[in-house]
Structures are given as C-alpha cells and as structure tokens.
Structure 1
Amino acid sequence: MIARETGQFYGQTNHCFQQNGLTLTDTEYTLPEVDWHYHENAYFTFILQGRVIEGNKKEVYHCGAGDLLFHHWQDAHYNIKPPGFTRGFHIEINPAWFAQYDLPHNLIEGSVRLKDPRLKLQMYRIFKESKVQDCKAAIDTLLIELFNHETVKDEQLPPWARKLNELLHDDKESHLYTLKELATAVSVHPVHLSRTFPLYFNARLSDYQRQLKLQKALSLLGDKNQTLSAIAASCGFSDQSHFIRQFKQVQKMTPLAYRKMLTGFYF
C-alpha cells in the first residue's frame, strides 16, 4: 500500500504552505482513480468544488462541494473522481500540533464524514484565513475551536432525533422545512421537538437551520453559473440583501468577495 508524505496529494497542488505543525494544501484532483493509500499525518479534506467518491474499510462517501472528511493517520482509503473539475482543501496535522495545545490526538477517530454545518462553516473560515494570512494565530484558533465543537452522535440519540439528524443532513431542502413539517416527519409533537432539540444538537433549531442555509450557499459559490440571487433563493433567504447580511455576520465578507477569493485564484 502506498504511503503519502506530508503535503503529498494526488493531482495538481496549486499551493502548499506549512505553519506551526500544520500543512495546508489547495489541490485540483486530476486522476480518475487513486488506489488504496494512507497519509502519515491525520488530516481534513474539504471539497471546494466538484465531486469525488472516497471509500475506506467501513464506508463509501459520495462527496460534493461543502463535504468535509477527516482521516486519522495511516487510515487507508481510495478515491474515484467523476468527470469534471474537482478541487479540495486539506489540513494535515502533525502530532506535535496536538501536543503543543495539550489536545489528545484521537479527538476524531477513523475515517469519517463530518456533517455538522457548524464544522463546515468553521472550515470555510479556515480556508479564508489561509488565503489572507495576515494573522497566523487565526488558523490555529479556528482549528482548536473546530475540534472543541460538540457534535451529535447517532448512538446517543433517541430514535426520533436520529431520524431528524438524518433528515437535516441528507435532505437538501431540510433548511426550508417548518417546525411542524419536521415534527410530522419524525412523528413527535412540535413543542417537544423545539424544546429538546438543543439537548441533542447543541443549538436551537432555528440557528441550526440558518447554519445549514449558509453552508449550502457557500457550497454553491464555487459554481460560476449560479447567480447570487439564485443562490439566495435556493437556500431560503427572503432576498439577496438578507443573504448578504447573514453571510457577512458569519464570514466577515460579502458573498461576492468570497466567491472571487474562492474561484478567482489559489492561495
């Protein structure tokens, strides 16, 4: 089995830089298939544009823009790239990085797809900071916050909440559903769902859906054929100005500026 060293990914790496035990790369995937391999460090893969299929010993993930994967060090996997342009952002983490912040290196175990929109929004922030590079501490801070996010685990959920978790993350229109529609879908009373949602998801339902909307919008910005007004409408914002306000609150820049940064050039 092939072992990949730090900073090595299959395809065309447009830029790679190292900082304080982290290696960040922006890579265009060019090979249609990549056989089983592993990396010497734990790392995140964040799909910025296009599609990729990734398989490990337990699961196969069909990933598109906005999907976030984590691999522990030496976890083997393979990749298949469908036709079209695909681009990924990677953060490799040296064991020394965990040690300097007194973080256990097994905070996330195995090869997994992370669905929580808060984690994806955090990764978009890290990507932005990797381009700006005006405050090196920002990337470390954001990554520590990402690891400290408490995410829902299926085995800890009652059946209705497990079903709701699947609905929220697998239904592309779930951010548009009303409280009553979600409650009906999982067969619980709307009041019960509203009251207990924070216990299982560490956020109010309205905030969680807002994060889903913003995460979907960010995943669509890489498609130059989508206008900002079309993105705002498909993500459930009342109008483009509302979309811009919500976006700036989270990413500290306008959707147009973020789109230019994402698609106009690499790091």
Structure 2
Amino acid sequence: MKRLSRGEYFGTHYNKLILDDCTITDTEYVHEKVEWHYHENPYFTYLIEGSVFEANKKQEYVLKPGSLLFHNCQEAHYNIKPPGYTRGFHIELNSSWFNMKDIDFNRFEGCIQLENPFIKGLMNKIFLESKINDTFSQLSVDALIVAIFDAFKYSGSELMSIKNPSWLKKLNELLIEGHVEMSLTMLSEELQIHPVHLSREFSKYFGSTFGQYARQMKLNKAILLINTGKFSMTEVCYMCGFYDQSHFTNAFRNFYGHTPLKVLKKIIQVKNLQF
C-alpha cells in the first residue's frame, strides 16, 4: 500500500503553501481511480469543485462541493472520480503542530465528516488566506485551524448520543441536506415541534442560533459559487437565498473581511498565475 509523504496528493497541484508545520495544497484530481493508500500526517480534505467517491474500511462517502473530511494519519482509503473537473483543498498538519498547540490528534479517530457550517466557514477563510499568502498568513492559518478543532464538538458525532432527544437526529439530517431556503417554521413543522421550543433548543446542540447557522450555510455556498467564476455577484446573491445585493455584500464582508467582488478578483488573479 502506498504511503504519501508530506504535501503529496494524487493530482496536479495548482498551489502549494508550506508553512512551519502545516502544508496547504490546492489540487485538481486527474485520476479516475486511486488505489488504497494512506498519508503520514493528519489532514483535512475540502472539496471545492466536482465530485469524488471515497471509501475506507468502515465508511463510504460521496463528496460534492463543500464536503469536508478530517483524516487521521495512516487511515487507509481509496478514491474514484467520476468524469469531469474535480478540485480539492488540503490542510496537512505535522505531529509537531499538534504538540505546539497542545491538541491530542489521537482522540480524533479514523475519518470524520464535518458538516457544521461554521467549521466550513473557517475552512473557507483558510482557503482565502492561502490565496493572499502574506506575512500574516502563518498566524492567521494557525488560529483558524485551532478554532476548527475547538468546534469539533458541534461536528455532528455528539448529536447522535442516545441521551439526546429523538428529533435531534432528524434535524441534523435536514440541516446536512443544505437547503439554504429552509426556515425555522419549516423545520418545526417537519419535526412536529413548536418553533419556540426548537429555537430555544437549537443553540444548545449546535452552538449558535438558527439564524446564525442558516446565514453561515448561505455564505459557504457563496464562496463555492464565486470560486467557479461562472456567475455574477447578483446571481450568487439570489442563488444563496439573500434577498438583496446589499444584504449579501454586508454579510459576506462581515464574516470574510472582503467583499464578494474583491474575493472574485483575487481568485481570478491566482487562477491566472496557476494556469
């Protein structure tokens, strides 16, 4: 079985950023099938475009744009890519990174699929930071990755505890489906729970209000659409469920620190350098 060393992935690297104990790669997947292999370091895979099937000895995943996985080191798996363009973003961490941050990576066993939109929002910030790549990128990326591990408790696995109410699993499944137009009223009707009770209980299990959660899902979708370069900002605005351009721009800038148009220009600039 092939062992992949630091920064090594199957495909064409358009961008590779090597920080002290962290390696970030932006990779086009070009192989129809990648046989069983494992990586020497823990890493995140964030699918930016296209789709890919991944399987390990315990689970199978169909990854689509916005899918996020954390793989612990030496977790054997294989991949199958359907026809079409597929691109993944990876963050690989040396054991020394975990030691410096006092994080025990052994408590994150195997492969974990992360659905929480705030975790994906942090991943989007790292994606943008890798395109900026200035003297502050090291500190910014480190802080964002630490925040991701802090948010693991809202990643979904703890929501399945038998101690939690039975409706919580169904709610988590509805949220994972990722419909940006969902409302508290729609969810309460589906779950047959009073919206006031659902609103009160939501933050207990998901670490945010429902409104914050839904808004973050919209912003995450916006980043993925902007990255394709196929849509105008007006189209992105309405495809993500924002009711007007001003509201979209303000929400986007408040979270990502840049306007959607500025992000688009930066992505186009980086793509032109890569291609």
Q: Above 0.5 in TM-score?
A: yes
Measured after TM superposition, the shift of residue 259 of structure 1 is 2.4
Q: What is the rounded CA distance, in whole Å, between the counterparts of 1:86 and 1:133 in structure 2?
A: 23
Q: Which residue of 2 aligns with 1:85?
A: 85
Q: Would you say the 8 A contact 2:17–2:23 is kept in 1?
A: yes
Corresponding position: 1:144 with 2:146:
yes
Counterpart contact for 1:244–1:255, Cα < 8 Å: yes
Q: Greater shift after overlay, 214-223 or 7-16?
A: 214-223
Shift of 1:10: 0.3
What CA RMSD, in Å, does the superposition of the two structures yield over aligned residues? 1.5
Shift in alpha-carbon separation, 1:50–1:148, aligned structure 2, 3 A: same
Q: Is the 8 A contact 2:131 2:267 kept in 1?
A: no
CA distance in 2, matches of 1:232, 1:17: 31
Q: Shift of the alpha carbon at 1:6?
A: 0.8
Shift of 1:14: 2.0
- Which range moves more in the overlay, 154-163 or 44-53? 154-163
Mapped contact 1:46–1:89 kept (Cα < 8 A): yes
Residue ranges of structure 2 left out of the alignment (5+ in a row): none
Q: In 2, Cα distance between the equivalents of 1:155 and 1:167?
A: 14
How far, CA to CA, are the matches of 2:205 and 2:58 in structure 1? 25
Residue of structure 1 in register with 2:267 after alignment: 262
Aligned to 1:245: 250
Q: Which residue of 1 aligns with 2:175?
A: 168
Amino acid at match of 2:172: N
Per the TM alignment, residue 106 of structure 1 is displaced from its structure 2 partner at its CA by 2.6
Q: Secondary structure at the match of 1:222?
A: helix
Give 1:9-28 correspondences, 5 Å limit: 9-28=9-28
Partners of 2:131 and 2:270 within 8 A in 1: no
The equivalent of 1:5 in structure 2 is 5
Matching residue of 1:43: 43
Secondary structure of residue in 1 paired with 2:18: strand
User: 2:242 & 2:256 partners in 1: Cα distance?
Assistant: 16
1:102-130 per-position Cα deviation (integer Å, ceiling 9, x unaligned): 11123532112111000111001111112
Distance 1:214 1:116, change over 3 A: same
| Aligned-partner residue type, residue 30 of structure 2 | T
Q: Which amino acid aligns with 1:45?
A: T
Kept in 2: contact 1:65–1:220 (CA 8 A): no
Instruction: Select 2:215's aligned residue among 192, 201, 210.
Output: 210
Give the drift of 1:178: 2.3
**Match status 1:225 vs 2:227:** no
Judge conservation of contact 1:107–1:147 (CA < 8 Å) in 2: no
For normalisation by structure 2, the TM-score amounts to 0.91
| Secondary structure in structure 1 of the residue aligned to 2:66 | coil
